[in-house]
Chains A and B, each alone.
Chain A
């Protein structure tokens, strides 16, 4: 329950502001990290619009949309969890963080089911890739980006779920109060960011040329 102010800071408020700025600085690096992949995808989609459109239609819009909904709900529960932390309600914090993590796991479950589907359909790039339409090379390129981008996102989700587990544990141990809950807030920032990445991934990967 005690307020820890590290020796380099003058007071708790300075420490708070510094850690929040630091977290956003880190999120800025993540924007550029994912951004590089988004740029590559954009360039190739511009160059090879038709095969990318056809490849995109092999993705399951329903599962993708459901997954997006799941993550948006998890962002709500995350925000509510931070809210409860501000009010000092330990049990509610644990509940909301646990639901957030559970929704994240549902997301990953659906994702890996989709990956398995792609494996069954022989759409994993490499020696076993089979494509019925024209321009197999460029269709394969679409799937490379699909797997790398969603895979990198999934890796970040796994880390996020791990963070939630740690935060639930620390909350249970009584480390936080309505005065000190900074790690929960920072964890929330990370979670929302990973959600935002998916918010862009879904339409760009799943909804390329659905109006045919």
Chain B
């Protein structure tokens, strides 16, 4: 698919970055940061996934139509998360209707 042959040193750089990010993930988990902990965990995982997709999976060197296919799955997953969590996180906002007094 890719006419461009990605030089090996880019692969090694990506691999190095991935291992560093792994260390950061574990390290940050042991520091108490409240709600930022899961955000950081998912965020760093997202960065790892992104560089694997762009470089190891050659998407950076691929036609734009492929970028649409790649993002579609994640965008749709986002929709699933957004509206489902939208339900769970807003359950407490409106109190149940009060019973009309007799």
Q: Do chains A and B touch in the complex (CB under 8 A)?
A: yes
Q: Are B69 and A211 in contact (CB under 8 A)?
A: no
Task: Indicate which residue in A42, A61, A80, A209 contacts B11 across the interface (CB closer than 8 Å).
Answer: A80
Bound Cα distance from A25 to B71, whole angstroms = 10
Q: Are B6 and A20 in contact (CB under 8 A)?
A: no
| Beta-carbon contacts under 8 Å, A33-83 to B | 35-36, 38-39, 42-43, 46-47, 61, 65, 68-69, 72-73, 75-76, 78-80, 83
Residues of A within 8 A of B80 (CB): 32, 35-36, 39
Task: Indicate which residue in B5, B45, B69 contacts A200 across the interface (CB closer than 8 Å).
Answer: B45
Task: Indicate which residue in B49, B57, B65, B81 contacts A199 across the interface (CB closer than 8 Å).
Answer: B49
0 or 1 for each of B14-33: is its CB under 8 Å from A? (1 = yes): 11001100100110011111
Q: Are A29 and B73 in contact (CB under 8 A)?
A: yes
- A177 on interface, CB distance cutoff 8 Å: no
- B88 on interface, CB distance cutoff 8 Å: yes
- A189 on interface, CB distance cutoff 8 Å: yes
Task: Indicate which residue in A185, A196, A210 contacts B52 across the interface (CB closer than 8 Å).
Answer: A196
Task: Indicate which residue in B12, B30, B58, B76 contacts A211 across the interface (CB closer than 8 Å).
Answer: B30
Please give me the residue from chain B that is nearest to A189 by CB atom.
B57
- A28 on interface, CB distance cutoff 8 Å: yes
Q: Are A203 and B42 in contact (CB under 8 A)?
A: yes
What is the distance, in angstroms, from B11's C-beta to the closest C-beta of chain A?
5
Residues of B within 8 A of A29 (CB): 73
What is the distance, in angstroms, from B3's C-beta to the closest C-beta of chain A?
9
- B84 on interface, CB distance cutoff 8 Å: yes
Q: How large is the interface on B (under 10, 10 to 19, 20 to 34, 35 or more residues)?
A: 35 or more
- A90 on interface, CB distance cutoff 8 Å: no
Q: Are A72 and B15 in contact (CB under 8 A)?
A: yes
Total interface residues in chain A, CB < 8 Å: 53
Q: Are B22 and A65 in contact (CB under 8 A)?
A: yes
What is the distance, in angstroms, from B75's C-beta to the closest C-beta of chain A?
10
Q: Which residues of B contact A (CB under 8 A)?
A: 1-2, 5-6, 8, 11-12, 14-15, 18-19, 22, 25-26, 29-33, 37-38, 41-42, 44-45, 48-49, 52-53, 55-58, 62-63, 65-66, 69-70, 72-74, 76-77, 80-81, 84-85, 88-89
Q: Are B57 and A28 in contact (CB under 8 A)?
A: no
Query: Can you list 29 A-B contacts (CB < 8 A)?
Result: A24-B66, A27-B70, A28-B73, A31-B73, A35-B73, A35-B77, A42-B85, A46-B85, A47-B88, A61-B29, A65-B22, A72-B18, A79-B14, A79-B56, A83-B5, A83-B6, A83-B11, A87-B5, A188-B56, A188-B57, A199-B45, A199-B52, A200-B45, A202-B45, A203-B29, A207-B26, A208-B38, A211-B32, A212-B32
Please give me the residue from chain B that is nearest to A61 by CB atom.
B26
Q: Are B77 and A31 in contact (CB under 8 A)?
A: yes
Residues of A within 8 A of B81 (CB): 35, 39, 42
Q: Are B22 and A68 in contact (CB under 8 A)?
A: yes
What is the distance, in angstroms, from B76's C-beta to the closest C-beta of chain A?
6
Bound Cα distance from A202 to B63, whole angstroms = 31
